[in-house]
Structure 1
Amino acid sequence: MNGPWDVHSDCTPDCAAPALPRVPATRIARRGAAFARTVRRALTDGERTAEPGRLRTHARALLDALDIHVEGAAALTSGGGTGTLVVANHISWLDILALLAVEPVTLLAKREVGGWPVVGGLARRAGTHFIDRTHPRRLPHTVRDVSELLAAGRSVAVFPQATTWCTAEAGTFRRATFQAAIDAGAPVRPVTLDYRQQGLPSTVAAFCGEDTFAGSLRRVLAARALTVRVTAHPVLWPLDGGLDRRELAALAARAALGGLPVTAVTGGGAARPAAPVPHAPPRDTPAHV
């Protein structure tokens, strides 16, 4: 059932296409077997999976089993007394593994992610906080929970687009979770995730529309030279810059979705984007909150 907070993506499974020919069937089989073994090891760790070191190890092992290389950021958080609100675009279930492989953080994800095969189980064991978008009255509670986590020094990663798109340039950022950073006085780290095959932009990893996990996994298993690039943009400091959640979301989206440089807000006045964020406007009014 769709709720008033649902976001609808124009992307469909037809958007997912490889940039290079498939690998041979023998390699697909080897990857599938390695992935299954790695999943079993991760899921048998139980509650220990939430330990940062184990979480990073499992995420990296799952990507290694799929022959997916992670490049880019060495860290996502900024240090200091509070946690960092990491805000990233959303393309695939692989996004979760990529972020955790770089730096284990607490994830905030839509409720449906908890039911996804493999990733859902790992996300639950990793202590992910799930959002039920069919009950919009829960949103203030979610914002408060995230703010408390940040104030306690725990970094939180969210996907403000609230759904998946096939490229890093589409969609828009919802504003609500940015309020948590303002309330906690926490920095915001915009992050761009994009997928390539031998340097060529690729949508093969996209998990959109009515796609199934099995169908997406088959494409990923067959993908040649797949790389996920994690780009960490300059940190935004909402309190020092006097930013409200609208301005903060716009600045973060400009960096994460447009890949355009944004001056970090460090205390000398708020940076402002010089041009509109290059993405389509949201199709449902509640996305403006």
Structure 2
Amino acid sequence: MNGPWDVSSDCTPHCAVHAAPRATAPVRARRGAVFAHTVRRALTDGERLADPVRLRGHAAALLDALGIRVEGATGLSAGNGPGTLVVANHISWLDILALLAVEPVTLLAKREVGGWPVVGGLARRAGTHFIDRTHPRRLPDTVRQVAELLGSGRSVAVFPQATTWCTAAQGDFRRATFQAALDAGAPVRPVTLGYTQQGRPSTAAAFCGEDTFAGSLRRVLAARELTIRVTAHPALTAVGTDLDRRELAALAARAVRGGPQAVAVAAARRAPAPVASVPASPAHV
């Protein structure tokens, strides 16, 4: 725990289990070499990495180097006007790459992510906004900044669970960033990130507890047929309703966890002009 605003997960590295036989040593070695080369190529882009087209390309290339497929959504933002607050469950450092490979939105991440090997450097160059959770008094300023980004038309992706869990069903949604969506009149896009191996649910990519990046990377390199499914649920909006941030967060959490009532309840309380949504598709990104 880094402060009173921090979150502790019940998950540990023991939660990370392969759902398929591990890749052979030659395959792991080849993936590692290609991944290292792809990381160096991305980092040499420097400030140019913030360009959406280049950022998306690098994220997709890094996942491809690891032998990982991304399936599902082809976009995350919901229509014109304010940007979209994209809220997703958090399982792995791979979540960031998966979201960026679908759509290069602005990321809001805990300060510790900036120090992660590989992902931290990419996140900084991509213009990620980092939260210092050791100083709760800075929260209102963070909410204001996110609201300004959304109001300017930029979509922002956040992980409301505030830490990683081994499945999408765990972890409460923190409500603060939902206030930013309310202040900006922005839609909220719930997104579920799920990991499978050979079609079976897998926790091999989970990055939890006292796990290290090196240990997690070794598991990922050994994961056979690892696929990340990005499911973009219908957008939620509180415009013209009496929804507050607590209720909006609860609806988003329910959608991310697959609750059948989430969309119906949200639709019943929407403004007369519904927010456009980007349906998930089976296209391979």
- The TM-score with structure 2 as length reference comes to 0.92
Q: Retained in 2: the 8 A contact 1:38–1:62?
A: yes
Residue deviations 1:244-276 (CA, integer Å, cap 9, x gap): 000000000000124535135441599xxxxxx
Match of 1:180 in 2: 180
Cα distance in 2, alignment partners of residues 232 and 259 from structure 1: 14
Q: Retained in 1: the 8 A contact 2:238–2:271?
A: no
Out of 260, 265, 271, which is 1:267 matched to?
271
Q: Retained in 1: the 8 A contact 2:42–2:58?
A: yes
Cα distance in 2, alignment partners of residues 16 and 57 from structure 1: 28
Cα distance in 1, alignment partners of residues 10 and 78 from structure 2: 34
Residue deviations 1:75-118 (CA, integer Å, cap 9, x gap): 10012111000000000000000000000000000000000000
Match of 1:139 in 2: 139
* Amino acid in structure 1 at the alignment position of 2:271: G
Aligned pairs for 1:112-127 within 5 A:
112-127=112-127
Q: Retained in 2: the 8 A contact 1:241–1:268?
A: no
SS in 2 for 1:194: strand
Residue deviations 1:132-156 (CA, integer Å, cap 9, x gap): 0000000000000000000000000
**Superposed displacement of residue 238, structure 1:** 1.2
Q: Retained in 1: the 8 A contact 2:109–2:158?
A: yes
Cα pair distance change 1:153/1:18, threshold 3 Å: same
Match of 1:56 in 2: 56
Cα distance in 1, alignment partners of residues 170 and 259 from structure 2: 12
SS in 2 for 1:208: coil
SS in 1 for 2:117: coil
Cα distance in 2, alignment partners of residues 70 and 116 from structure 1: 22
Aligned pairs for 1:44-193 within 5 A:
44-193=44-193
Cα distance in 2, alignment partners of residues 175 and 80 from structure 1: 24
Q: Which runs of 5+ in 1 are unaligned?
A: 271-289
Cα pair distance change 1:259/1:76, threshold 3 Å: farther
* Amino acid in structure 2 at the alignment position of 1:84: T
Match of 2:18 in 1: 18
**Superposed displacement of residue 221, structure 1:** 0.1
Residue deviations 1:222-250 (CA, integer Å, cap 9, x gap): 00000000000010011133310000000
SS in 2 for 1:241: coil
Q: Retained in 2: the 8 A contact 1:109–1:159?
A: yes
Q: Retained in 2: the 8 A contact 1:192–1:259?
A: no
What is the RMSD of the two structures over their aligned residues, measured on CA atoms? Answer: 1.3
Consecutive aligned runs of 4 or more in structure 1 exceeding 2 Å deviation: 257-261, 263-266
Q: Retained in 1: the 8 A contact 2:147–2:183?
A: yes
Q: Retained in 2: the 8 A contact 1:241–1:269?
A: no
SS in 2 for 1:157: strand
Match of 2:219 in 1: 219
SS in 1 for 2:59: helix
Cα distance in 1, alignment partners of residues 271 and 225 from structure 2: 42
Cα distance in 1, alignment partners of residues 203 and 273 from structure 2: 38
Match of 2:277 in 1: none
Q: Retained in 1: the 8 A contact 2:179–2:245?
A: yes
